[in-house]
């Protein structure tokens, strides 16, 4: 008899991939179409900009190699709108895989691209940007044009980043999108976990569960630890009014609200997906470069 298939393992860490485009516009009417591709350690985004305005994007999990991740991210949006690579005038690569985007005309650092993207998404009042990615965390200062004036990064370890959240999500067997909301479902706010190293946090989390913490309390303690870690990075660079958070962790209210509480300021809200900031900035740089030509 045929062996029965093993039950499918639920991947709690798997976040929502998404594709969007502006249905009120037709890209064929655009004079200049530029594309930004942000290949990150955990996620990859392709953003299309038509005549300097956001037109569409695709955000997905990064695969095993950067060139394929770049191609797949772009293909995902092009297939939706019936576009071909030759329809795009200029492509800029960014993110940690930026030099491996096979069809890019230029590569620009993600720090510059996140600042430019945040300026578009949050407006020209944005001055302090927190970029919380999959493997590192950056605090960036910019001017009213979205030009970087200073930055600091923390890439020593994956804790306090998206990857750390994925580990906790898997450990708790709770879908990643539910972690933030559940972190507030506690009677009293627990102490932050003392260790934010992913390896130790895992054993510490298990210890807390054994000691009688509920899952929600453990998540709250971990969100608080992430917030404290990030705030210490922000305080080293200094937080100016006009605070904006980019990348995946911006979607986790458990971390964001605790950061706001610790800083005593609210972040600038945007209707645009925070995860596309880097790729959007890259596409906008492409538009500027095309105009100069």
Is-contact 117 245, C-beta < 8 A? no
Q: What is the pLDDT of residues 132-167, one digit of tens each?
A: 988 889 999 999 999 999 999 986 665 567 888 888
pLDDT computed for residue 111 by the predictor: 96
pLDDT computed for residue 161 by the predictor: 76
Share of the chain above pLDDT 90, in %: 78
pLDDT computed for residue 156 by the predictor: 62
CA gap 89, 27 in Å, rounded: 12
Give 212's DSSP letter: T
Could you give the residue range(s) of every CATH 3.30.420.40 domain in the chain?
A: 18-120+275-291, 125-267
Judging by DSSP bridges, how do beta strands 53-61 and 128-132 pair with one another? unpaired
* Range in 43-47, 128-132, 137-141, 191-195 with the lowest mean pLDDT: 191-195
pLDDT computed for residue 175 by the predictor: 95
The CATH number for 18-120+275-291, chosen from 3.40.50.10860, 3.20.20.100, 3.30.530.20, 3.30.420.40, is 3.30.420.40
Kindly report the backbone phi and psi dihedral angles of residue 54, in degrees, each rounded to the nearest multiple of 5, phi listed first.
Answer: -60, 125
Q: Which long-range CB contacts under 8 A does 174-178 form with residues at least 24 apart?
A: 174/12, 174/215, 174/219, 175/12, 176/12, 176/13, 176/14, 176/15, 177/15, 177/16, 177/251
Q: 85-106: buried (b, 16+ CB within 10 Å) or exposed (e) per residue?
A: eeebbbbbbbbbbbebbeebbe
pLDDT computed for residue 7 by the predictor: 57
CA gap 95, 200 in Å, rounded: 28
Average pLDDT, the chain: 92
CA gap 175, 10 in Å, rounded: 9
Angle in degrees, CA 226, 229, 235, rounded to 5: 135
pLDDT > 60? residue 52: yes
Burial class (CB in 10 A: 0-12, 13-18, 19+), 4: exposed
CATH superfamily of 125-267: ATPase, nucleotide binding domain (3.30.420.40)
Share of the chain above pLDDT 70, in %: 94
* Range in 29-43, 47-61, 97-111, 163-177 with the lowest mean pLDDT: 163-177
């Amino acid at each position: 008899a045929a062996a029965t298939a093993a039950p499918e393992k639920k991947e709690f860490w798997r976040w929502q991939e998404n594709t969007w485009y502006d249905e009120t516009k037709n890209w064929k009417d655009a004079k200049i179409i530029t594309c930004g591709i942000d290949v990150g350690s955990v996620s990859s985004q392709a953003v299309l900009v038509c005549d300097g305005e956001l037109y569409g994007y695709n955000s997905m999990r990064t695969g095993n190699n950067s060139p394929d991740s770049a191609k797949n991210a772009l293909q995902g949006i092009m297939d939706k709108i019936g576009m071909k690579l030759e329809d795009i005038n200029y492509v800029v690569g960014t993110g940690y895989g930026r030099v491996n985007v096979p069809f890019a005309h230029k590569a620009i650092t993600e720090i510059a691209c996140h600042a430019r993207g945040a300026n578009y998404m949050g407006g020209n009042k944005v001055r302090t940007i927190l970029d919380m990615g999959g493997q590192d965390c950056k605090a960036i200062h910019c001017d009213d044009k979205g030009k970087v004036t200073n930055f600091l990064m923390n890439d020593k370890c994956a804790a306090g980043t998206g990857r750390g959240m994925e580990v906790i999500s898997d450990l708790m067997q709770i879908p990643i999108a539910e972690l933030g909301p559940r972190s507030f479902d506690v009677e009293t706010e627990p102490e932050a976990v003392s260790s934010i190293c992913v390896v130790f946090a895992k054993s510490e989390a298990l210890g807390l569960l054994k000691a009688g913490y509920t899952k929600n309390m453990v998540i709250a303690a971990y969100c608080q630890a992430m917030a404290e870690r990030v705030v210490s990075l922000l305080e080293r660079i200094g937080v100016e009014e006009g605070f904006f958070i980019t990348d995946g962790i911006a979607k986790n209210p458990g971390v964001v609200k605790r950061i706001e509480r610790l800083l005593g300021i609210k972040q600038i809200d945007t209707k645009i997906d925070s995860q596309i900031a880097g790729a959007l900035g890259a596409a906008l740089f492409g538009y500027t470069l095309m105009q100069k030509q």
